[in-house]
Amino acid sequence: MKIIRSIAEMQAFSEEARMQGKKISFVPTMGFLHEGHLHLIRQARTMGDVLIVSIFVNPIQFGPSEDFKQYPRDWDRDAHLCESGGADVIFAPIVEEMYPEGFQTMVNVPHLSQNLCGISRPTHFQGVATVVAKLFNCTKPHVALFGEKDFQQLAVIKRMVLDLNVDINIISVPTVREAEGLAMSSRNTYLSAEERRSALSLSKALFKVRELFQNGERNARVLIDTTREIITREEGAAIDYIKICDTATLQDVDTITRPAVMALAVKIGNARLIDNVVLKE
């Protein structure tokens, strides 16, 4: 497995692979890999001749009061996991080369970035869309894989790819969960044992909502109230939002008549956790 830090070297590597007719698959990550990432990596392995995993904690997607500095990092473990997952290359650029002096270009997907996490993180998705556009230009993949846990991120990236005619196939991969239901996230490492038990209320509520939906409930207010009730039973769970949105526009819906997503963000201790469930017939 090759480790590449230089952008020019990454581009030359990918250009060479493409010229040889090889298909490149790509998994962008912020490192501190967990089973969810490995799931993406293993699936990407089957979709290309050359598998690139990027590890880059992207400063511009964190707000000024967010956890950029304390975001967990473990290079040795990550490298080992990438290799075990079959990666050919880890692309790990340095911040100073990604954002040189005078950097100013931003890719913005305004409507899809507004609701849900965009309310409390107004510059987050601009930072995500911009870094993903950059990483695509660095790694030049044919296919790129993203997890469905970050539902809004996935919607933003799909829209950007469509709107800017980026010739890359975006594959979404279902959320991987712990045995008890908790969605895998690098930020789960912030949780104490007790907080982790509280955090189980998120998936528990979402599974309950899915069940109610399957039994015919279409009223968003009822489903949201059910979720709120289950989560607020836990001490120390501070709800950022619980919403039901149209999967295409991410606008709030009152009555579910088309595919919708219940998405939520809850702060438990120092961890802001997100999760979602798609509601469709």
Binding site for a second copy (CB under 8 A): 7, 11, 15, 18-19, 21, 100, 102-112, 129-130, 133-134, 137-138, 140, 159-160, 162-167, 248-249
CA geometry: angle at 244 spanning 238 and 249, to 5°? Answer: 125
Q: Which amino acid is at 140?
A: K
Of 40, 71, 109, nearest in space to 272 by CA = 71
Beta carbon of residue 209, minimum distance to a second copy (angstroms, whole number): 27
Beta carbon of residue 114, minimum distance to a second copy (angstroms, whole number): 10
Closer CB to a second copy, 125 or 213, in the complex: 125
What is the enclosing helix (H) or strand (E) of 81? Answer: helix 75-84
Residues 6+ apart with CB under 8 A from 207: 181, 277
Residue-wise DSSP of 1-53: -EEE--HHHHHHHHHHHHHTT--EEEEEE-SS--HHHHHHHHHHHTT-SEEEE
Neighbouring CB atoms inside 10 A of 261's CB total 23
Neighbouring CB atoms inside 10 A of 16's CB total 11
Closer CB to a second copy, 11 or 43, in the complex: 11
Beta carbon of residue 118, minimum distance to a second copy (angstroms, whole number): 13
Closer CB to a second copy, 161 or 206, in the complex: 161
Catalytic residue among 37, 39, 124, 142: 37
Is residue 37 annotated as a catalytic residue, yes or no? yes
Beta carbon of residue 102, minimum distance to a second copy (angstroms, whole number): 7
Closer CB to a second copy, 15 or 225, in the complex: 15
Known catalytic residues are 37
